Chain A
């Protein structure tokens, strides 16, 4: 994995949102993303998994610099995104795109899908109006729709078709890197499979790098080369998808896998579901964030944040003080 030239490289990425609890309450910092190192190689698909509130969507937007990080850097193809002027960064946006979760919210309800797909090309001056119109037809065909659909409005399409349109819009600028934020979560299973296949095909055919954000471990395992598991703003385990899902080292990853319902096995009564809720990201526990729900936690876990350290196989890293004992 280390030999792949890096396309996106984030170091020490941290994002803190300021929020006020009530009108006169004190301000609280919400630690959405904390000290995350993450890289995506050329043509690599990296999955980010975790439950709601773990900071995975924020991480995706930080990598695209749609949010400015509180600390840390993001390099895209060697260039520090924060150091670029807004005009240079705007031009770089041609090469990085975003696909959203909600196919009903991500398209402008008042403009035809053709116009929306053509936007990217026109904004970046990649095509004239006539060329763009032709390219829109091609793009619609690429994602399995008809060129004649270009003149329709978003509400005339089903959820799965809209997500295809969103994919076509992202592809219009011929990007190198796409952040897909839960792109199939809002879709029915049969449609979900269509869109996952589409993303896999396009990735192969166009040599895209992909950051695939999802809470569905099955889909991530299916689509991604590498996976990062997030909990309360931090990456707690990362590694090649196969190794990580076969032999998860972090107790949270283990719990997540155990909790994921599966057709293949009915839940064995052996492992009780993880107790408790995600702690508040404005007041995370000291030391290891997971210790309040971890069945293996002891007093050491509260003392310091465990570093993300190399684990069994190549590229597999885990942030757990007791990983060796648990294994």
Chain B
């Protein structure tokens, strides 16, 4: 990461460093004197002796640009830095201590913001007299409150973060917490603020010098040069160009530097990069006509493999996954985080994020009319027609699945009208009926509520109402009860079990990490580990006589027994870019033998209904 960061920093750093170095080195550079007047050569265009030409008094423009950079950069950098130091201190104190301190620091600093900036600068300059020093003071006063506000807002957000509270719990003094923990974490937006302030100070310096209140002539500054060039714009327009270019170039370079600095200071680098070309080729899978399926299945996933292009090579978060759901059946897909269970659900919905590419696999779906087709090869419009109509989805977090600015009744009605041609009034009537059906108390009135006016359980009921609005034949529920409390979870599970019976034939894929929930809701279960289905079969049989060591270990790690120690699976889930050879579970498996670490175990059929991806399953019985 270090070298990557350095390389990102290099270019803007060299440019800004170069500009500063040239400005600092002005006295030793082979340049003329910036104030020597040569009236005979006034407004001479660029020549070999004077690369950028001569100005209205015949002074060398290049010399004045370089010397002017000293004034412009010194004023803007110093002003931005001084304002930053004071503003950040005020903001940190105000945001961390709140109360009286907040009024004394941030709020009083904000009073400054009430004045128009130029007016305020003029006021200070008039009081103290023009000159570079005064200009720095004026600009510092002007910019400090902006820093204070940014620092204050960031501190407010950071002060209740767990790791800040943790410092407090450790007994650290407030000063230490502010300097070591809060400041580094609020720094990124402040860095951006710094680059903006330098740029803005440079412009204001130019403006004030232009008005004759900043740097005093004949001392050069970019603002003064623009001012001088303005009067001779007709005769020598290039004179205006040079200082403007210098100003713009410096500001752009500075912005780039601060952006790069902010990214490099963030220790969490980005690992996954999207590759648009790969996504494109993914869509060019052969569009062969799908084989007809004779079995009365609703959904059959065959050999689904997904790939994400990552920095260290492609990773496969889902590999050779095959599942099936019959009408009226609930299939639980259970696994830990990173097992690929959510991506599998999203793939069926055609809602994979763009970085995920489908390498191979078929998803056969049989629709209401009895036609079977491969969802992977369906075009977007056809898929959109299925989504929300034939196939619906319920997500984990109900508060983020509902739009906070629309009434819940409208959101359910919208789901109806997206697929059926009914009037708004009729859709609303049906929405209220659905909300009533999912057990929202006082549905007619609650339909008018906004999501935030409902509890988490009620929100999830509303989400489910929208999902079943068009009588879907397949419902994919991704951890629908994980964000809910147990008593509410019990309500939602009962509701979902009830829906299945009422709607006759609705199949369900229930994605969860909770084995106990699986045993309550599902008919069949597929256990996933690092992107593979390791065991699949009827819930009762799989839980009573598991035939894969991972399933056994998962069941044993549920803290229900009376044993003194929980049985934990040793080690951690290996990362996708560094998978062990052979069976993916072998390094953590108590049953692993040499053969397990050499070849991938195939998914073996146990009897008609079950399968396992363990070569030693017979010995597990």
- Using a CB–CB distance below 8 Å, which chain A residues touch chain B? 51-52, 64, 66, 90-94, 96-98, 100-102, 105-111, 116, 119-120, 123-124, 153, 155, 158-161, 166, 169, 173, 188-194, 196-197, 200, 215-219, 221-222, 255-256, 258-264, 266-267, 272-278
14 interchain pairs, CB-CB under 8 A: A100-B166, A109-B268, A110-B265, A123-B171, A166-B166, A193-B569, A196-B559, A197-B568, A216-B559, A218-B559, A219-B559, A261-B517, A274-B491, A277-B455
Return the contact of B185 from the options A110, A116, A267 (Cβ within 8 A).
A110
Q: Are A189 and B267 interface neighbours, CB within 8 A?
A: no
Given A120-B170, A197-B568, A263-B519, A189–B554 Cβ distance below 8 Å? yes
Query: How distant is the Cα of A193 from the Cα of B491 in the complex, in angstroms?
Result: 27
- Closest CB pairs A-B (n = 10): A93-B171, A261-B516, A273-B490, A193-B568, A188-B336, A51-B485, A259-B490, A190-B569, A106-B162, A193-B566
Please give the distance in Å from B396's CB to the nearest CB on chain A: 13
Chain B neighbourhood of A216, CB < 8 A: 559
Chain A neighbourhood of B555, CB < 8 A: 263
Given A106-B166, A189-B513, A273–B568 Cβ distance below 8 Å? no
Write the chain A residue with the least CB distance to B588.
Answer: A190
Return the contact of A189 from the options B172, B176, B336, B491 (Cβ within 8 A).
B336
Q: Are B163 and A108 interface neighbours, CB within 8 A?
A: yes
Q: Are B486 and A266 interface neighbours, CB within 8 A?
A: no
Query: How distant is the Cα of A48 from the Cα of B490 in the complex, in angstroms?
Result: 21
* Interface residue range, chain B: 35 or more
- Using a CB–CB distance below 8 Å, which chain B residues touch chain A? 161-163, 165-173, 176, 180-181, 184-185, 265-268, 336-337, 441, 455-458, 485-491, 493-494, 513-517, 519-520, 543, 553-555, 557-560, 564-569, 572-573
Please give the distance in Å from A281's CB to the nearest CB on chain B: 12
Query: How distant is the Cα of A116 from the Cα of B180 in the complex, in angstroms?
Result: 10
Q: Are B516 and A190 interface neighbours, CB within 8 A?
A: no
Q: Are B486 and A260 interface neighbours, CB within 8 A?
A: yes
Q: Are A263 and B176 interface neighbours, CB within 8 A?
A: no
Return the contact of A259 from the options B266, B487, B543, B572 (Cβ within 8 A).
B487
Chain A neighbourhood of B565, CB < 8 A: 197, 200
Chain B neighbourhood of A166, CB < 8 A: 166
Q: Are A124 and B566 interface neighbours, CB within 8 A?
A: no
Give the number of residue pairs across the A-B interface with Cβ within 8 Å.
175
Return the contact of A123 from the options B172, B485, B554, B557 (Cβ within 8 A).
B172
Write the chain A residue with the least CB distance to B181.
Answer: A108
Given A98-B165, A158-B572, A262–B560 Cβ distance below 8 Å? yes
Q: Are B485 and A188 interface neighbours, CB within 8 A?
A: no
Q: Are B543 and A119 interface neighbours, CB within 8 A?
A: no
Given A100-B162, A273-B491, A196–B267 Cβ distance below 8 Å? no
Q: Are A277 and B457 interface neighbours, CB within 8 A?
A: yes
Please give the distance in Å from A68's CB to the nearest CB on chain B: 13
Please give the distance in Å from B537's CB to the nearest CB on chain A: 16
Q: Are A161 and B572 interface neighbours, CB within 8 A?
A: yes
Chain B neighbourhood of A93, CB < 8 A: 169-171
Q: Are A266 and B267 interface neighbours, CB within 8 A?
A: no
Chain B neighbourhood of A158, CB < 8 A: 572-573
Given A188-B336, A193-B569, A218-B558, A256–B486 Cβ distance below 8 Å? yes
Q: Are A123 and B517 interface neighbours, CB within 8 A?
A: no
A110-B265, A273-B493 given; 12 more Cβ-contact pairs under 8 Å = A51-B487, A66-B168, A98-B169, A107-B166, A196-B566, A197-B565, A221-B559, A222-B566, A259-B486, A259-B489, A262-B519, A273-B487
Q: Are B171 and A124 interface neighbours, CB within 8 A?
A: yes
Write the chain A residue with the least CB distance to B271.
Answer: A155
Q: Are B170 and A119 interface neighbours, CB within 8 A?
A: yes
Query: How distant is the Cα of A160 from the Cα of B337 in the complex, in angstroms?
Result: 11
Chain B neighbourhood of A116, CB < 8 A: 163
